[in-house]
């Protein structure tokens, strides 16, 4: 439970930091001198950095341990959002890159902690509970960052989020004795930056999971990056209300992660759960793209809640399966390698979405493209299953 609480809190604060810029994009864009839909390029820079740092997380885990690595991630994210608040384009780009370097290793570090303290028949649920930190962070960004940006300005909101990350990094320091000891760190098989990626690519089940996650991540981050801007600019929803819509969608993702973690442990194998989620998020993405100013607010809440339930619920099941399929002692390295492909979808998805909207002026087309990708990802992962030796371990 201590491991779950610590990793959940760290995941939530890092996610809140990364998701705050999209929430305040409509306010920040005029000060920076860019169009608000260009927030997709900011998100792409964040996750380009995350690809690099995630790929090297196996080596970092071997050097400093999972909790110290998590503290470094909080510090990098805080520095990144603080620098981005300087509000000129080179600083914003540098801030995005630093946030990405901080975001990448967080999940591999937490996987390395949790895999050693969770029974096999509870892994999907426990990993899903930990991964609720991502929608929790998004909900915090919607409920806190948006109103705070209206009260003290978007730069003040960004600096407040940075301060919260630093405070948490200091608070978890006493836990290093428990989680960064030699016994808990254990053998780490990946000591070069590309070892985790090679491990994933040469293992068929891991490769199929990782490639499907590329499409799921593109859908998830397109939602997180563009939903508030889309609702305010095209559906004429007030900013605070749009932030609440975002928070409700993230809340649906929290419920979905817990429920589907239990389902993957007890009722359906993980591959089938992920496949059904891919189909569901495809349908919900298409429906979200049809939202207009003529829609009543309850209908907007309902559709985006379904999108949150499907598009934000897959991560815990996915990460638990990656950790279970990894060789002994390589859960963190395999997770880092798999997440490099996951983050590739996050880089390409919002960037493609941004380009489509800029060129066509159609959010509907953007949501339809990510829907098609999610559907194909669901088909790709349908047949993935654990070997019998892993299921009975």
Q: Count of CB atoms within 10 A of residue 245's CB?
A: 24
pLDDT at 350: 79
Helix (H) or strand (E) holding 154: helix 154-171
CA pair distance 237, 249, nearest whole angstrom: 15
Domain boundaries, the chain: 2-173+191-391
- The residue assigned the tokens 């810029």 is 21
pLDDT of residue 383: 65
Residue found by looking up tokens 């603080």 in the block: 82
Q: What does each of the 393 residues of the chain score in pLDDT, given as a tens digit?
A: 777 888 888 989 998 998 888 888 778 888 887 776 666 678 778 888 888 887 777 777 777 888 889 999 999 999 999 998 898 888 988 999 999 999 988 888 887 777 776 776 676 777 777 777 777 887 788 788 888 888 888 899 999 999 999 999 999 888 888 877 654 444 444 445 577 788 888 888 888 888 899 999 888 878 777 888 888 888 888 888 888 888 888 788 888 888 888 888 888 888 788 889 999 999 999 999 898 888 999 999 999 999 888 888 888 888 888 877 777 767 767 877 888 888 788 778 877 888 888 888 888 898 898 899 899 988 888 766 655 444 433
pLDDT of residue 190: 43
Tell the CATH superfamily of the 2-173+191-391 domain.
MFS general substrate transporter like domains (1.20.1250.20)
Q: What is d(CA 388, CA 393) in angstroms, rounded to the nearest whole number?
A: 9
What is the Cα–Cα distance from 83 to 313, expressed in whole angstroms? 31
Q: Are 282 and 371 in contact (CB under 8 A)?
A: yes
- The vertex-70 CA angle with 48 and 310, nearest 5°, equals 60
Give pLDDT, residue 384.
61
CA distance 60 to 68: 10
347 and 44 Cβ atoms separated by less than 8 Å: yes
User: Which pair of structure tokens corresponds to residue 179?
Assistant: 């989680």
CA distance 104 to 94: 16
* Contacts for 341 with CB less than 8 Å, ≥ 6 apart: 197, 200, 210, 211, 213, 214
**Does the reported pTM lie above 0.75?**
no
Q: Can you tell me the distance from the alpha carbon of 111 to that of 326, in angstroms, rounded to the nearest whole number?
A: 11
Angle at CA 44, nearest 5°, toward 291 and 254? Answer: 55
CA 130/CA 126 separation, integer angstroms:
6
- Asked whether 278 and 378 are in contact (CB, 8 A), the reply is yes
C-beta separation of 153 from 47 below 8 A:
no
CA angle 7, 106, 280 (to 5 degrees): 85
Q: Which helix (H) or strand (E) holds 136?
A: helix 133-140
Over the range 347-359, which residues count as b (16 or more CB within 10 Å of their CB) and which as e?
Answer: bbbbbbbbebbee
Q: Which helix or strand (DSSP H or E) is residue 235 part of? A: none
One-character DSSP codes across 19-31 = HHHHHTHHHHHHH
Distance CA 313, CA 263 (A): 12
Rounded CA gap, 342 and 38, in Å?
21
Nearest alpha carbon to residue 371 among 251, 220, 264 = 220
Number of neighbours of residue 119 by Cβ within 10 angstroms: 8
Contacts of 248 (CB under 8 A, 6+ apart): 301, 304, 305, 308
Measured over the CA atoms of residue 340, residue 346, residue 348 and residue 349, the dihedral's sign is positive
User: What are the helix (H) ranges across 234-362?
Assistant: 239-266, 270-289, 297-311, 315-325, 331-360
């Amino acid at each position: 439970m201590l491991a779950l609480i610590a990793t959940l809190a760290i995941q939530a604060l890092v996610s809140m930091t990364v998701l705050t810029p999209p929430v305040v994009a409509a306010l920040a864009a005029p000060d920076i001198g860019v169009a608000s839909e260009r927030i997709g390029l900011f998100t792409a820079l964040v996750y380009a950095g995350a690809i690099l740092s995630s790929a090297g997380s196996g080596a970092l885990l071997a050097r400093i341990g999972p909790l110290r690595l998590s503290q470094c991630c909080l510090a990098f994210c805080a520095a990144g959002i603080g620098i981005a608040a300087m509000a000129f384009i080179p600083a914003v780009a540098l801030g995005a890159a630093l946030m990405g370097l901080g975001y990448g290793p967080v999940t591999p570090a937490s996987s390395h902690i949790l895999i050693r303290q969770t029974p096999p028949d509870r892994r999907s649920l426990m990993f899903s509970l930990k991964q609720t930190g991502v929608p929790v962070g998004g909900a915090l960004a919607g409920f806190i960052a948006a109103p705070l940006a209206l009260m003290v300005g978007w730069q003040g909101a960004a600096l407040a989020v940075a301060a919260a990350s630093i405070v948490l990094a200091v608070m978890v320091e006493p836990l290093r004795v428990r989680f960064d000891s030699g016994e808990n760190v254990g053998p780490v098989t990946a000591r070069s930056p590309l070892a985790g990626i090679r491990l994933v690519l040469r293992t068929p089940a891991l490769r199929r999971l990782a490639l499907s996650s590329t499409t799921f991540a593109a859908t998830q981050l397109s939602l997180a990056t563009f939903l508030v801007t889309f609702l305010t600019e095209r559906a004429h929803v007030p900013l605070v209300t749009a932030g609440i819509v975002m928070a409700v969608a993230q809340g649906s993702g929290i419920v979905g992660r817990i429920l589907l973690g239990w389902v993957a442990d007890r009722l359906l194998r993980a591959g089938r759960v992920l496949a059904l989620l891919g189909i569901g998020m495809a349908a919900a993405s298409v429906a979200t793209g049809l939202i207009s100013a003529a829609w009543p607010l309850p209908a907007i809440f309902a559709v985006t809640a379904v999108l949150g339930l499907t598009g934000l619920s897959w991560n815990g099941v996915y990460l638990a399966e990656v950790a279970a399929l990894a060789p002994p002692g390589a859960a963190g390295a395999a997770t880092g390698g798999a997440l490099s492909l996951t983050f590739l979808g996050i880089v390409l998805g919002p960037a493609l979405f941004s380009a489509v909207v800029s060129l066509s002026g159609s959010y509907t087309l953007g949501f339809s493209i990510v829907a098609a990708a999610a559907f194909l990802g669901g088909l790709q992962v349908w047949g993935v299953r654990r070997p019998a030796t892993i299921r009975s371990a």
